Amino acid sequence: MNEFNNFTKNFKVTNSIVQLLVGGLINLEGKEWSKSRGSLNPIFYVEKLKQMVPAFQLSCAEIMNEWNNLASKDGSCVVEMVHYLESYTSKVLSKALLATDHSKDQRIYELLKEMSIMAKQTTQIVYIPGAKYWPTKENRRAKQIMSELKILFMERINDKTNAIKERRTKGDNFFDVILELDQVAEAHGIKNVDDVLGQLKLFYFAGFESTSMMLVWTMILLSIHQDWQQRARGEVFQVFGDREPDYEGLSQLKVVSMIFNEVLRLYPSVVELSRLVEQETRLGENIVPADTLLMLPIMMVHRNPEYWGEDANEFKPDRFVEGVIKATKGKNAYFPFGWGPRVCIGQNFALLEGKVMMANILRTFSFELSPTYTHAPYVVLTLQPQHGAPIILRKLN
Contacts of 277 (CB under 8 A, 6+ apart): 6, 7, 288, 289, 290, 291, 292, 293, 294
Q: Which is nearer to ligand HEM, 23 or 71 (CB)?
A: 23
Contacts of 147 (CB under 8 A, 6+ apart): none
244 secondary structure, DSSP code: P
Residues forming beta bridges with residue 283, ordered by sequence position: 286
Contact call for residue 294 and ligand HEM (CB under 6 A): no
The mark string for 249-268 relative to ligand HEM (x by CB under 6 A, - otherwise) is --------------------
Contact call for residue 276 and ligand HEM (CB under 6 A): no
Q: Which is nearer to ligand HEM, 214 or 393 (CB)?
A: 214
Stretch that binds ligand HEM, among 65-73, 151-159, 189-197, 332-340 (CB under 6 A): 332-340
**Distance of alpha carbon 62 from its chain centroid, rounded?**
21
Residues forming beta bridges with residue 385, ordered by sequence position: 377
For the chain, what's the residue count? 397
Applying CB under 6 A, among 214, 359, 392, 393 the residue interacting with ligand HEM is: 214
Contact call for residue 277 and ligand HEM (CB under 6 A): no
**Residue 236 and residue 253 in contact, taking contact as beta carbons nearer than 8 Å:** yes
Distance CA 261, CA 318 (A): 10
Window 52-91: residues binding ligand HEM (CB under 6 A) = none
Applying CB under 6 A, among 26, 60, 157, 362 the residue interacting with ligand HEM is: 26
Contact call for residue 37 and ligand HEM (CB under 6 A): yes
Contact call for residue 207 and ligand HEM (CB under 6 A): yes
**Distance of alpha carbon 182 from its chain centroid, rounded?**
30
Contact call for residue 245 and ligand HEM (CB under 6 A): no
Contact call for residue 43 and ligand HEM (CB under 6 A): no
**Residue 63 and residue 84 in contact, taking contact as beta carbons nearer than 8 Å:** yes
Binding-site size, ligand HEM (CB under 6 A): 23
Q: What share of the chain is helix, strand, coil (3-state, %, to 5)?
A: 60, 10, 30
Indicate the helix (H) or strand (E) that contains 296.
strand 292-296
The mark string for 89-108 relative to ligand HEM (x by CB under 6 A, - otherwise) is --------x-----------
Which residue in 275, 287, 201 sits closest to 13, CA to CA? 275
Distance CA 70, CA 63 (A): 11
Applying CB under 6 A, among 17, 20, 21, 25 the residue interacting with ligand HEM is: 25
Contact call for residue 381 and ligand HEM (CB under 6 A): no
Distance CA 319, CA 334 (A): 12
Q: Report in angstroms how near the CB of residue 242 gets to ligand HEM at its nearest.
A: 29
Contact call for residue 211 and ligand HEM (CB under 6 A): yes
Applying CB under 6 A, among 270, 359, 361, 389 the residue interacting with ligand HEM is: 270
Applying CB under 6 A, among 173, 210, 223, 366 the residue interacting with ligand HEM is: 210
The mark string for 338-377 relative to ligand HEM (x by CB under 6 A, - otherwise) is x---x-xxx--xx---------------------------
Q: Report in angstroms how near the CB of residue 264 gets to ligand HEM at its nearest.
A: 6
Distance CA 205, CA 111 (A): 10
**Residue 257 and residue 270 in contact, taking contact as beta carbons nearer than 8 Å:** no
The mark string for 175-204 relative to ligand HEM (x by CB under 6 A, - otherwise) is ---------------------------xx-
Applying CB under 6 A, among 245, 249, 336, 385 the residue interacting with ligand HEM is: 336
Distance CA 8, CA 292 (A): 11
What 3-state DSSP class applies to 375?
A: coil
Contact call for residue 212 and ligand HEM (CB under 6 A): no
Q: Which residue has the CB atom at the shortest distance from ligand HEM?
A: 346
Instruction: Give the sign of the dihedral formed by CA 27, CA 381, CA 323, CA 333.
Output: negative
Binding residues for ligand HEM, per CB under 6 A?
25-26, 37, 97, 202-203, 206-207, 210-211, 214, 269-270, 273, 336-338, 342, 344-346, 349-350
